Structure 1
């Protein structure tokens, strides 16, 4: 089955590269969001906690280009 999202290692690598392009606390924020997503998903029988973690990591990936109003949402 083809996943339309990266595996955990790839997501962590992408997040690290993005943080190198635009350093800031947004990376740590993304890691905290990922943990929250994972913890919530573990309590929901129909959710995949690994997928929730990965998508939490990447939820703000548009910040890699900096903070430019809504542009980071569109680029991400």
Structure 2
């Protein structure tokens, strides 16, 4: 899996920001009834899981997932 890693500094502490090299194809984050729900297809789910595993290696790692959402569907 291709990832992009950037280093950022905030208040004197350096963090590693990990993001997919290509955007997710079929993933969306929705706000529903006071909580959030995420829908992804299997391929994107594996990519997200891999990124979380990489970030779990260090307490100063962050995962950035740009997520596209459609307008909310009325209940």
Q: TM-score, normalised by structure 2?
A: 0.34
Which is greater in Rg? 2
- Larger helix percent: 1
